Structure formats: structure tokens, C-alpha cells
Amino acid sequence: MNNAEQPAAADAGPELAFPHQLAQLQITPQLPGAPPPPSPGMPPITPGMGGAAPSPGMPAITPGMGGATPSPGMPAITPGMGATTPSPGMPSITPGMGGAPAPAPVPVPSPAAKPSGGLNITITNPEQLPALPPGQTELKLVIQPDQPAVATQADGGLGFWEVFIALVAALLIAPLLQREAGKWMSLVSAIDFVRKNGLAISTYLVTFSMGWIVFMIVLPQLNMLDFSFRFSLPPSEVGGPKDVYTLKNYKYLIFGREGSSETFNMLHLAVFLKTIIASVFVTAINFAMCYPLAYYMAQSVKGGSQRLLFLCLLLPFWVNEILRAFAFKLIFAEQGLINTMLIGIGIFDTPFDFFKADIALYTGLTYAYLLLMIFPLYNAIESLDHNQIEAARDMGASWTKIHLRVVMPHAKPGIASGCTMVFMLSAGALAAPQILGGPSSLWFTQIIQQWYNTGGNWPQGSAYAFVLLVVCIIFVQIMMRVFKVSLGEIAQR
């Protein structure tokens, strides 16, 4: 059974509610020796049966009646009712029904007559047919029944053989993996760190320590290093042809702006050298203040007095560093506590400018990193056997020789650790120089901050920061050579 659809005429009548309606035409060719199947609810239409007419008393359904025009650009396949107008420029293929005249039928030559009961097709407007290729004299119209969709077989997943091979491979490889895992476990268990802390805690500590070092230290420094060798470009040009490596940022630190009359960038180089020298000075002051206190806490005082000293040291550091810097600013101000006392006892007649002399800055930096010097020294000196000190005193050594030849050689890792941390943090400080620095005192980190924030030149700021990092690493190496300690010994303190 075949169904054909044809658009109804736009002016089919006033009773139609929509300008375009579709009508169905049921064509039931009668095969030889087979009666036509009845269609419930559909009036039968039998095309081309050799004079066959509709059944008496049954209305004939005729699509495209009364001057209906098919859609332009599509061939019209309609029963020949004589009133149907074909589309301009397109052939009209009209099955001839019994009793309905067809306009100017032109028979199509066929090689042989079809048996009785076939479908007779006539073609109107043959001049609109497409040109046949050379050597072809027939135009065939093939009507085929709908083919049922071929069901595709769903994927059944893994088959029996795949599962079997996987199980056999697992059984063969499992003993080998078990032996290798046992060897590695024995090696790991032999490590002193794992033996003390256990496998689970050791794995946790190593994993998170390596994660902290990689993601919080190594990767940011590598990103900063990459930035330092690039041009300062707008975001739209990053990654483009102009985004290449250059030494321009490092040249600017040494030689200044291109075309400048000065040979070197004296302003930034002077600030850089001042920052390094001041950091060394702060480190020396910190060591001079903290060494006696650390020795006293480690070798002289015990029990409750020692705990009280620890509490007095820790309690001020519960306050934020910025708040402590502002507290020092109030103390060293012109109307502050120190100037009021000095003027009151007659030392000064007018307030002294502690900020211009950088006294407030050095004092604030020394106090800010006091604990980072005391605790490494305390840990190193506490491990010293007190009998060695008593033996040196019994042999007549002075206190200076005892400290220079007994205590300090033993405390070298703690001294190196404390000096390294205080120097690096002093050179990289920003809050204290910003708050306690005078109008003419500029810290190198303030220039870096200006490049990043005010200037918006991140590559230039990265170059300055990387130079400061390299200098700090060189200082660590110097301290290791002077005190003849390894990096592991420094880290233990």
C-alpha cells in the first residue's frame, strides 16, 4: 500500500479554515488473482483498472479539485480529474482513473504490456521532463513497498573470552606484583622516618609536604621567572607574535631606561644595595639581642620561670604584624612616648625624627622577627651538655672563650638557621618599611610593589623580585660555608 500527499488549493472554498490543507489518496492496485483489501473509513479509489468506476453510492475522494494548484517546484501526482492545473515548469504525473478524462495524455513507451490489474500511469506536459542521457529511451518509475528497518544488535559488553583472558592474566601477574610490592614495603619500612612515624602518617606527611613545596613554592617561582623574561603586553596580545622572551627587564634594573643620559640605574641599584645592607644589619642586631636570651633560657633557667619567659615572648606576637608596626609608629612619633621621655629628661629640646634616621624602621624589623632568631638558637643550645660548660670553667676558660669555643660551635646550625630566616624576611618585608620608613627611605620591595600595582608592569616586577630571591639564596650559601653546616642541619633547627 502506498500513500501520496498533495496540498489542497488555497481557494478551495469559504468553508476551509486554513489556506493549506493536506488530503490523503489511497491507491490500491489490484494484483492478479488477489481481491482488493477493504480499507475501513476510507473511500476506495481504484486507478487505471481499464474503465473501472467508483462504486455506486460511494463518493469519490479527489485531492486537488476545482482548480487546485500544486506547490511550485514539486511534481504533481494527482488523479486525472481534468480540472487540476499542473505546476508551471514541472511535469504532472497523473494516474488515470476510470471515467475521468486526462488532459493530453502522452503514453510512455514500455518494453512490454503489464498484466491485467497493474497501475496505468500517464504523463502530462512531457516537454517538461528532464533530458534523457544519450542511448536511453525509457523513463522508469519504480514503486517499492516500504522496507522494515533493520534492527542493529546492541553491544553486549565484554564477552566470555575477554573476561576469561583478563582473569588468567590477573592470576599470572598477581604473584609477581605481590613479590615486588613486598620488596618495596621492606625497603620503605627500613627507613628510619617510616619506622618512627608509621607508614600511614609518613605517607601523609611526605605527600602534603611535597604538595606544599611544589604548588606553593616551586611553581609560583617558576611562573615569576617566566614572567621576568617577557614584555609587558596587554592581555589581548599575550600569546601572540609579540609575546617573546627578552632581557629588557634585567637591563632596566642595571642600566635604566633606554636613551637615558645616566650610564646605570643609580636610583634602583642604590635602593637594592641599601636593602641588602640594612637586612644584614638587622640580622646582626637580632643575633646580638637573642643569643644571650636564648642561652639563658636553655642553660640557666628551668621550670616555671622558663615557661613564664616563653609566655612573655609569645604573647606580643598574638597581635598582627601591621598593628605592631603602627604601635611602633605611635611610640616613635614626634609626640610619642620616646620623644616625650627624652625631652622630659633634657636630652633633646625638640622632638627627634626617628623615621628619617630609619631608627624606627630597624627597630620594627628587629622586633618583628625576634622569635625566628630565638627559637633556633634555643633548640641548638639546649642540646648542649651542661657538663662541657662546667669543664671549661674548671679549666679556667673565660666566659668569652666558653661561648666562642664551646657554645657557638655547637649552636652553629641554629645560628645559621636564625640568621637565614631573619635576613630573608627582612629583605622581603613590605609592611614595616611602608609604615615605619621615612620620606627618603625606600625599600626594594616597595619598588617591586609599585611595578606590580601602580605601574602595572608585572614582567618588570618579576625581574626585580627574582633578583632579590637570587641574592637571598646566595646569602644562605654564604651562611652554610661560614658555619660549615648543611642545608639539612639548618632545616632541623
The pLDDT tens digits of the residues spanning 22-35 come to 444 444 454 445 45
Going by the DSSP 8-state scheme, the letter that residue 349 receives in this structure is S
Mean pLDDT of the chain: 75
Q: Which domains, from first to last, does the chain contain?
A: 1-49+93-108 (no CATH), 162-224 (no CATH), 229-492 (1.10.3720.10)
343 has pLDDT over 70 = yes
pLDDT of residue 197: 80
Distance linking the first and last C-alpha atoms of the chain: 95
Torsion of CA 481, 482, 487, 493, to 10 degrees: 170
Reported as a single tens digit per residue, the pLDDT across 130-154 is 666 666 656 555 555 555 555 545 4
d(CA 381, CA 400): 16
At 228 the pLDDT is 93
Confidence of residue 64 (pLDDT cuts 50, 70, 90): very low
Q: Which residue has the higher pLDDT, 346 or 171?
A: 346
User: Could you read off the pLDDT of 456-482 as tens digits, one per residue?
Assistant: 899 999 999 999 999 999 998 898 888
Q: Choose between 432 and 189: higher pLDDT.
A: 432
- 253 by Cβ neighbours in 10 Å (0-12 / 13-18 / 19+) ranks as middle
Q: What is the pLDDT of residue 160?
A: 66
pLDDT digit string, tens, across residues 3-22? 444 444 344 444 444 444 44
Question: 3-state secondary structure string, 120-180?
Answer: CEEEECHHHCCCCCCCCCCCCCCCCCCCCCCCCCCCCCCCHHHHHHHHHHHHHHHHHHHHH
pTM over 0.85: no
- At 296 the pLDDT is 92
Length of the chain: 493
Provide the β-strand partners of residue 95.
Answer: 121
- Per residue in 258-268, pLDDT (tens digit) is 878 888 899 99
Distances (CA, A) of 410 to 162, 382, 399, 489: 68, 10, 15, 12
> What is the structure's pLDDT at 134?
66
pLDDT at 213 over 70: yes
Q: Note the pLDDT of residue 67.
A: 44
